Structure 1
Amino acid sequence: MKSETDIVVLGSGAAGLCAAVTAAHLGARVVLLEKADVLGGTTAWSGGWIFAPRNPVAVRAGINEPEEAPREYLKAVLGNHYEPERVEAFLKAAPEMVGFLEENTAVAWEGGLKIPDTYSHQPGAGMGGRSVIAAPYDARGLGKAVSLLREPVRETTFHGMTIQAGPDLRAFMTMTRSFPAFVHATKRVLRHMRDLAFHRRGMDLRNGTALIGRLVRSALDKDVEIRTGVAVRELLVEEGRVTGVLLPDGTELRATRGVVLACGGFPQDMGRRAGLMPRNDEHRTLAVETATGDGLRLAEGAGGVVRTDQARPAAFCPVSTVRWPDGRVAQFPHIIDRGKPGVIGVLADGKRFCNEGLGYHDYVEALLKAVPEGTPARSWMVCDHRFLRRFGLGVVRPQPAPWRQWVGRGYLKTDTTIEGLAAQCGIDPKGLLETISDWNAGAVKGEDPAFHRGTTAYMRLQGDPDQAPNPNVAPILKPPFHAVEVVPGSFGTFSGISTDAKARVLQADGTPVPGLYAAGTDAASVFGGFYPAGGIAIGPALTFGYIAGRDAAQKET
């Protein structure tokens, strides 16, 4: 049995949906196939920020960067991993993509006008405006299709309610100290409880879920045919050209203009990870279970090659393991808490090993370097009770949320003394006492002589503006003291399919596989395995999805 369309897209994360929406807008018939029973991939679980320098949202706000600035910054950060052709394609198309989506689809943006790049001390670093995020979206706009939307994870939500970085998050963090913040948070919680009662899920979509919701609405508006629960068996290849896909039931779905691979990389493929991921057996991924490397396997079967020459194979993030009462085990990403004033990261010897307020990718890099092979790559984030109630720690929420149940579940270690806390964690008591004593000596003056927290714009943004003189530094004094074990994890993979500036899959000789594209984490990272800014996964995913959809739609049939 055979059927035909113009373009087939595999995967419904940011890359796949953007490719589908772009191609459909340009007049192509598009079929989007998703392996899972729900849409959104790992994007739906993400913070949703998008790195897109010189985007129109920033320009409207008066941020007009010279064209050379982001290029200079990326060259400084990527070094020998800088790929001129692909980086130039990204820098040119990223603002075009942002403008295209806001002008022609249901996607609307909010600007990260005050978010600096991670290495804000490097030449060309942006001090704000290079990031955008999808505006909140009312899921009622999806109609019956809301049932296809992947729900956010329990670990990073409040009973399924997603909180957006920025003013929304700050309101929740300060609701016990600010009446306007209390009103904002209360209204959001009441609306969420109403939605749970009437819809059995949150309908106020934010972060990555808002982006996916808006893209799904756009795909439906442009008559993209969406099929879920479909795992493609193989690509159809005729005379060296990819002409479609073979479906599980034996149906041949022909694609006259091309196939786009956007299956989410290989974070759940332990076999492929084995030769690439440091401490592979210990490493814990935050990606969806269906991200098992299907796109890479399909590309290789059609003559494409996989690149493993990135500086790191994945987008690292420190995580802690959460065990829920129903037996579910999941990972919590430590994105927000590390840079807040009054918490430090230590090893089993009780010593600090990094600047906790730099990027989350850097935290894991430092952990892997600090712990010798043969020793588990474990660290602990340690704080006092003031910090726990003000900011929370990992999955433990700040006040007024209760915290003692997390002690009973073994997630949060707590004791009235530093020595007792160290004993519970398996940390050297003397080393931890000395470290906290040294930390406090500097912290009372707002200083961190060992690692210089709070000395860049990026670090200061992660801190608490009410903490003076340094938003990232405060002493650890008030018992009881608390700790959470933190280990290496990642959001998704950096290694992936070799592609060119048009998102075309490349063969070993560097020539494109006709009719085949790859975007998102299926494709090798355009940033060479580095993490120069927040949103460097979803930004290129949308951008190269846009490039792939545009190029494929313009092919002659």
Structure 2
Amino acid sequence: MTTALPDVLPASAIPSDVEETDVVVIGFGIAGACAALEAARSGARVVLLERSATYGGTSAMSGGHFYLGGGTAVQQATGHEDSADEMYKYLVAVSEDPEHDKIRVFCDDSVEHFDWVEALGFQFERSYFSGKAVIQPNTEGLMFTGNEKVHPYRDAAVPAPRGHKVPVPGDTGGTQMVMDLLNERIKEAGVDVRYEVGATNLVQDADGSVVGVAWKKFSETGHLRAKAVVVAAGGFVMNPDMVAENTPALGEKLFVLGNTYDDGLGLRLGKSVGAQLKFMDEPFITAPFYPPSVLVKGIVVNKDGKRFVTEDSYHSRTSYHVMHQPEQKAYLIVDSAHIEHPSMPLCPFIDGWETVEEMESSLGIPEGNLVETLGSYNKHAHNGEDPEFHKHPDWIAPQDQGPWGAYDLTLGNALYAGFTLGGMRCTVDGQVQREDGSVVAGLYAAGACAANIAQTGASYASGTQLAEGSYFGRRAGRHAAAQKG
């Protein structure tokens, strides 16, 4: 692998009889598919390049969560009130560097986008899953997938569940159904899809505009001239050199989530023509200790026996804080009244002890610290309160019924998984921007190649990337199509 930038090809060096089209889209994941479909529906001639032998990308590997709100049909059917304003306030509150214009349109258009996704040819089940899980275990259409009910965000906006899951059981591969439907709609729209063809370089005019790509298919090479290029080629988690340079935590004792072509080429293509890359040092990392939901009622402590995060946080937020603890050590402490072993433990069970003092000593926690932490928590929990971290009352329960057990949340012992969040700076319509905010004419970014709503693991909610990738992919496709002239 490499971190080197591809050469930029001058338009003057491209043959005069080169093949021409209106829009080239790089990558047939959900963002590229939505960009290509909307560009074609807007009347553009579209060529979609995909390096692999089939469509789907990393999108097809995911469970099928779309983070949507504002009053979708599923929210309404299950009795959950929501509005674009409350969704907006929440996303602004959790974002590291909120881009207000993007969050505003994403929320305002969320119901329309929900309807658009369903119009591909399926329906989200009109049902609600109330438990705490990585993803609904069956086909329930809605659940909380973020930190909406977590302090302090529940005070910034009225909480509402926004994790819409496609009606496919299980926690992986659910999005494949959506990709199959997108493939059908893309065929109907007349998009020219070319598999096993990878973009290798961008072509730039004398004025700095991107006017095409160079491509390679096995030993065959060529060029495509276009009015606009949309880069939707995924993240960089499968490129160890880029990971080591930007997000080294993903290279340490972690299982990476991605497909072979998440090698950062799309990001490097953008940077080669001046794109600013944002949040490159921010990974999504997670090792959820639930389900079962009852485990959330326990407490999470570091090697010093101190709590450091509210336990009802979404799992990537909890993991984010674990990564910032001394030696990245953490333990989940649960009493006998609330312990229930998960069927597929990502965080292994360590042992059980008759007294808190024995547990403290066995875990190597300084004497008295865990006794004090647990005692303080239990004292307030009997009143349904958590003044230190403000855990939601739904998940507060005294942990005072011995014996006690502990699960290991330590990096290297727990099975953490992760992917990258960095992407190109771009406008609300996907136009790629330089560091000074100027636009690289003719170049667009979407999905994992773009920096939009998903910024940090601490602020992430399941379904963000599918929702923003498809929504902003659509915007990029429409805007790119308008450049056809």
Fold conserved between structures, TM > 0.5: yes
- Cα distance change of structure 1 residues 228 and 382 upon mapping to structure 2, 3 Å threshold: farther
Q: Is the 8 A contact 2:210 2:228 kept in 1?
A: no
Deviations 1:193-216 (A, max 9, x none): xxxxxxxxxxxx63x444334434
> Paired residue for 1:236, among 170, 185, 203?
203
Q: Is the 8 A contact 2:295 2:340 kept in 1?
A: no
Q: Is the 8 A contact 1:286 1:490 kept in 2?
A: yes
Give the match for residue 426 of structure 2. 499
- Cα distance change of structure 1 residues 527 and 480 upon mapping to structure 2, 3 Å threshold: closer
Is 1:377 aligned to 2:325, yes or no? Answer: no
Displacement after TM superposition at 1:523 (Å)? 0.9
- Cα distance change of structure 1 residues 430 and 123 upon mapping to structure 2, 3 Å threshold: closer
Gaps of 5+ in 2: 1-14, 127-140
The letter of the residue matching 1:351 is K
Deviations 1:133-174 (A, max 9, x none): 3233xxxxxxxxxxxxxxxxxxxxxxxx7159xxxxxxxxxx
The 3-state SS of whatever aligns with 1:481 is: strand
Is 1:349 aligned to 2:349, yes or no? Answer: no
Q: Matches of 1:420 and 1:296 in 2, distance apart?
A: 51
Q: Matches of 1:32 and 1:444 in 2, distance apart?
A: 59
Deviations 1:387-423 (A, max 9, x none): 5546446348xxxxxxxxxxxxxx5433455677667
The letter of the residue matching 1:484 is D
Displacement after TM superposition at 1:339 (Å)? 7.1
Q: Matches of 2:100 and 2:386 in 1, distance apart?
A: 38
Q: Is the 8 A contact 2:57 2:259 kept in 1?
A: no
> Paired residue for 1:99, among 111, 115, 124?
115
> Paired residue for 1:304, among 275, 283, 301?
275
Displacement after TM superposition at 1:56 (Å)? 4.2
> Paired residue for 2:478, among 541, 550, 557?
550
Q: Is the 8 A contact 2:294 2:339 kept in 1?
A: no
Aligned positions of 1:408-427 closer than 5 A: 411-415=348-352
- Cα distance change of structure 1 residues 39 and 294 upon mapping to structure 2, 3 Å threshold: same
- The number of residues matched between the two structures is 442
The letter of the residue matching 1:72 is K
The letter of the residue matching 1:106 is G
Q: TM-score normalised to the size of structure 2?
A: 0.75
- Cα distance change of structure 1 residues 39 and 241 upon mapping to structure 2, 3 Å threshold: closer
Give the match for residue 485 of structure 1. 409
Q: Matches of 1:453 and 1:226 in 2, distance apart?
A: 49
Displacement after TM superposition at 1:519 (Å)? 1.0
Q: Is the 8 A contact 1:7 1:257 kept in 2?
A: yes
Q: Matches of 1:32 and 1:109 in 2, distance apart?
A: 28
Displacement after TM superposition at 1:442 (Å)? 5.2
- Cα distance change of structure 1 residues 17 and 279 upon mapping to structure 2, 3 Å threshold: same
Q: Is the 8 A contact 1:318 1:486 kept in 2?
A: no
Give the match for residue 87 of structure 2. 70
Is 1:133 aligned to 2:133, yes or no? Answer: no
Q: Matches of 1:266 and 1:338 in 2, distance apart?
A: 33
Q: Is the 8 A contact 2:353 2:405 kept in 1?
A: yes
The letter of the residue matching 1:475 is Q
Aligned positions of 1:345-494 closer than 5 A: 345-371=300-326, 376-383=327-334, 389=340, 391-392=342-343, 394-395=345-346, 411-415=348-352, 431-432=369-370, 435-436=373-374, 439=377, 447-448=385-386, 450-455=388-393, 460=394, 471-473=395-397, 475=399, 477=401, 481-487=405-411, 491-494=418-421
Displacement after TM superposition at 1:334 (Å)? 4.7
Q: Matches of 1:392 and 1:382 in 2, distance apart?
A: 18
- Cα distance change of structure 1 residues 221 and 414 upon mapping to structure 2, 3 Å threshold: farther
Is 1:211 aligned to 2:178, yes or no? Answer: yes
Displacement after TM superposition at 1:65 (Å)? 4.9
The letter of the residue matching 2:121 is A
The 3-state SS of whatever aligns with 2:479 is: helix
Is 1:525 aligned to 2:452, yes or no? Answer: yes
Gaps of 5+ in 1: 137-160, 165-204, 320-332, 397-410, 461-470
Q: Matches of 1:132 and 1:257 in 2, distance apart?
A: 35
Is 1:277 aligned to 2:247, yes or no? Answer: yes
Q: Is the 8 A contact 2:62 2:171 kept in 1?
A: no
Q: Matches of 2:51 and 2:358 in 1, distance apart?
A: 48
- What is the root-mean-square deviation of aligned Cα atoms in Å? 3.9
Q: Matches of 1:271 and 1:24 in 2, distance apart?
A: 36
- Cα distance change of structure 1 residues 123 and 211 upon mapping to structure 2, 3 Å threshold: farther
Displacement after TM superposition at 1:435 (Å)? 4.4
Q: Is the 8 A contact 2:25 2:35 kept in 1?
A: yes
Q: Matches of 1:453 and 1:88 in 2, distance apart?
A: 29
Q: Matches of 2:103 and 2:39 in 1, distance apart?
A: 22
- Cα distance change of structure 1 residues 65 and 11 upon mapping to structure 2, 3 Å threshold: same
Q: Matches of 1:9 and 1:516 in 2, distance apart?
A: 10
Deviations 1:349-403 (A, max 9, x none): 33332211123333234334442xxxx212233446775546446348xxxxxxx
Task: Provide the identity percentage.
Answer: 26
Give the match for residue 246 of structure 1. 215
Q: Is the 8 A contact 2:81 2:160 kept in 1?
A: no
Displacement after TM superposition at 1:117 (Å)? 5.7
The letter of the residue matching 1:494 is L
Give the match for residue 230 of structure 2. 260
- Cα distance change of structure 1 residues 419 and 7 upon mapping to structure 2, 3 Å threshold: farther
Displacement after TM superposition at 1:347 (Å)? 1.9
Q: Is the 8 A contact 2:227 2:483 kept in 1?
A: yes
Q: Matches of 1:65 and 1:350 in 2, distance apart?
A: 39
Q: Matches of 1:63 and 1:346 in 2, distance apart?
A: 34
Give the match for residue 109 of structure 1. 124
The letter of the residue matching 1:515 is G
Displacement after TM superposition at 1:260 (Å)? 1.7
The letter of the residue matching 2:264 is G
Displacement after TM superposition at 1:106 (Å)? 2.4
The 3-state SS of whatever aligns with 1:357 is: coil
Q: Is the 8 A contact 2:148 2:159 kept in 1?
A: no
Q: Matches of 2:276 and 2:155 in 1, distance apart?
A: 34
Give the match for residue 152 of structure 1. none
